[in-house]
Amino acid sequence: MKNLILPLFGLALLCLTTLLFSCGEREDQTTTNMKEKAMELEAPVADKIPEELEIHGDVRTDHYYWLNDRENPRVIEYLKAENDYLESVMSHTTELQEELFTEIVGRIKQDDESVPYYDKGYFYYTRYETGKEHPIYCRKKESLEAEEEVVLNVNELAEPFEYYNVTGLSVSPDNRYLAFGEDTLSRRIYNIRIKDLHTGDILPDLLPQTTGTSVWSADSKQLFYNLRDGETLRAYKIYRHELGTDTQQDTAVYEETDNTFTAFIYKTKSNKYIVIGSYSTLTQEYRLIPADDPRAEPTIFEPRDRAGNLEYSIAHIDDKFYIKTNWNAKNFKIMVTPEDRTSRDHWEDFIPHRDDVLVENMELFNDYLVVQERKQGLTQMRIMEWEGEEHYMEFDDEAYVVYPSVNRELDTEVLRIGYSSLTTPNSTFDYHMDKRELTLLKEQEVVGDFDSKNYESKRKMVAVRDGVEVPVSIVYKKGTPLDGSSPLLLYAYGSYGYSMEPFFSSIRLSLLDRGFIYAIAHIRGGEEMGRHWYEDGKLLKKKNTFYDFIDCGKYLVENNYADPERIYAMGGSAGGLLMGAVVNMAPELFSGVIAAVPFVDVVTTMLDESIPLTTGEYDEWGNPNIEEYYHYIKSYSPYDNVEAQDYPPMLVTTGLHDSQVQYWEPAKWVAKLRELKTDDNPLLLYTNLSTGHSGAAGRFERHRETARNYAFLLDLAGMTE
């Protein structure tokens, strides 16, 4: 996230803001660590203005509800004062932060280029230039020896803006036009623009307030796109735009009226169908429009079955659809149906359900079906001939991740995959399915003296309190003591069925090379061990997620992977909720915690349907309008369970324009922690006043926040030299 630490307020200015918060005078300090500085400096203290919130006969008094107003100048002043306080407490780490930033950025290959992929007569690739923050998208016609065409230079477009991000690049079937979404606020609301690749001109067509994703009709004259609601940010409406016409004349093709669903759009790999999808956490539904008949009415594939929690996704080839579904299959299976008979009564099993294998994805080719599966927590690639044999790709690492990369062609024997492990940089391979041969195309270069042989990874199964075994992936530099004297950072997410993969990170080397051990806890709430892993860590079983993380931390201490006085925890977004719950439940376990954009005010947010994305979250956390869910959520919601006890040192980050977790959640949480905690440990809040959930968009500046996070940990560990 971009470093926007602001200058210290003068004492006079601070005194003007004491209506809503107060802050003590700051003086030059000679102390050299955060704990001492936190004891000597007086932190901003938010004023308490009670707001009573009542439901189900239960009254909660929220003293910091007033922070829920980004238009209030005093709120901004408070956030700036918190930034100033952080700068003061961490001022002695300025040189360390710069050193960390320099080495992290120094490992990034500046003049880098992706492996080209072929699509409709062109080789497409992305490259970066030295010193430039943003990508340059390029193509070459028919041959890699052809002259380069710059499709989009994002650096040029980003120049006028403090924040700029591009998404959803979509080239028309005739190869002439490029549609792309641009966000200049970091709110994930994109305006779609269209570039004429023949002339280089940006057309006057401007499609506002979208998800950034768009799909072309077969004749390259119609563009389908997805509108966001201006208040809730829910993607809910699909429009069709005719090139060169006024957007006010665009036709609404589909509207999702159920506010627990979002709408999305894509084109099948066969290019035959434009697909409109409706998605909720536990149910999906699809509609089809022939790409060569863009004005046709969408036809439903299979109606949603909310009561039965029917989940499915579809892929098309020849005259058939292949369906990944949980219909009578907890871990999903693959079914097939003729394209002219898509209702469920025509679906037939193609790959049956297996209790020990989770079906995650599929990639279709003329002669092959490739299935991405997960078994015992690890991804695997199953290669199946439509008529013939099948086999699995084999890998040597103990913990790794493999996935299909860009595969636009149907008529090919070559599968493009991505691969990474805790010690292997991100790599791109071509796998020749007919010969069963793997060809390395590129391993991401780590600039400097990096050698993967200098690092070691392990995978442990940790028996937690209810007897379930939770995988933990561990990486460290060879020679790091495993005798209980090494500092360790434990990371996890544990929500939405999102599996935390054991991937390589060059950024992480700044900790490993200084003697840190890094561990990932694959806790319930993810989907690493199958669908049940997700279901046992959500709704009324959500506390399993927190217990798993605590028990994994204890295991790492008891088995000498972590110094009991130097074990740290980190998580972001829903992983930030994890951090908040864990420090309430086991505040003594961790010696420091980083909570990035944390979702911590769960009850209040889930009761406010005007907050972006709330209604789509009911299947994950439960709907607190239902009394049973209300009381369960309240029992773990970090903000509601802050109490008078000692808490570990904490660094909390947020973005003023965050569309996923509103900035006021971490701001309120920090204010309440300050009020009630009984320790003198540093509690720091940083608000990036220019960005949102994902931080800065550039490839370098985002690591300013990484450097600050690492400096926070190293200072706590006594490793600042």
From the candidates 573, 591, 659, 694, which is the catalytic residue? 573
Q: Parallel, antiparallel, or unpaired for β 650-655 and 683-688? A: parallel
- Residues 412 and 409: their CA atoms lie apart, in Å, by 6
Question: Is 573 annotated in the active site?
Answer: yes
- Residues 191 and 614: their CA atoms lie apart, in Å, by 23
Q: Is 328 left (phi over 0), alpha (psi -120 to 50) or beta?
A: left
Following DSSP, what letter does each residue of 344-410 receive, concatenated?
GGG-EEEE---TT-EEEEEEE-SSEEEEEEEETTEEEEEEEETTS-EEE-----SSEEEEE-----S
**Residue 391 contacts residue 381 (beta carbons within 8 Å):** no
- Residues 363 and 3: their CA atoms lie apart, in Å, by 40
Following DSSP, what letter does each residue of 250-307 receive, concatenated?
PEEEEE---TT-EEEEEE-TTSSEEEEEEEETTEEEEEEEETT-TTSPPEEEE---TT
Angle (CA) 167 169 173, round 5° = 160
- Residues 286 and 278: their CA atoms lie apart, in Å, by 6
Task: Convert 444-470 into a string of H (helix), E (strand) and C (coil).
Answer: CCECCCCCHHHEEEEEEEEECCCCCEE
- Residues 709 and 690: their CA atoms lie apart, in Å, by 19
Question: Is 56 annotated in the active site?
Answer: no
Beta bridge partners of 414: 432
Count of all residues that appear for the chain in the document: 721
Phi, psi of 676 (to 5 degrees): -105, -25
From the candidates 536, 563, 601, 658, which is the catalytic residue? 658
Angle (CA) 251 338 307, round 5° = 70
**Residue 73 contacts residue 13 (beta carbons within 8 Å):** no
Is residue 480 classed as helix, strand or coil in its secondary structure?
coil
**Residue 192 contacts residue 209 (beta carbons within 8 Å):** no
- Residues 478 and 476: their CA atoms lie apart, in Å, by 6
Residue 440 has which token pair? 């390395």
- Which residues lie below 8 Å from residue 389, measured CB to CB, with a gap of 6+? none
Helices 703-716 and 94-106 sit at what angle, rounded to 10 degrees?
130
Q: How far is CA 552 from the centre of its chain?
A: 23
- Which residues lie below 8 Å from residue 335, measured CB to CB, with a gap of 6+? 322, 323, 325, 327, 347, 348, 349, 350
**Residue 345 contacts residue 335 (beta carbons within 8 Å):** no
Q: Is 530 left (phi over 0), alpha (psi -120 to 50) or beta?
A: left
Is residue 503 classed as helix, strand or coil in its secondary structure?
coil
Question: Is 658 annotated in the active site?
Answer: yes
- Residues 126 and 137: their CA atoms lie apart, in Å, by 5
Beta bridge partners of 166: 182
From the candidates 693, 694, 703, 715, which is the catalytic residue? 693
**Residue 464 contacts residue 523 (beta carbons within 8 Å):** no
**Residue 716 contacts residue 568 (beta carbons within 8 Å):** yes
Looking at residue 721, its amino acid is E
The helix, strand and coil proportions of the chain, stated in percent and rounded to the nearest 5, come to: 20, 35, 45
Report which of 712, 661, 717, 655 is spatially closest to residue 684, judged by C-alpha positions.
712
Question: Annotated active-site positions, please?
Answer: 573, 658, 693
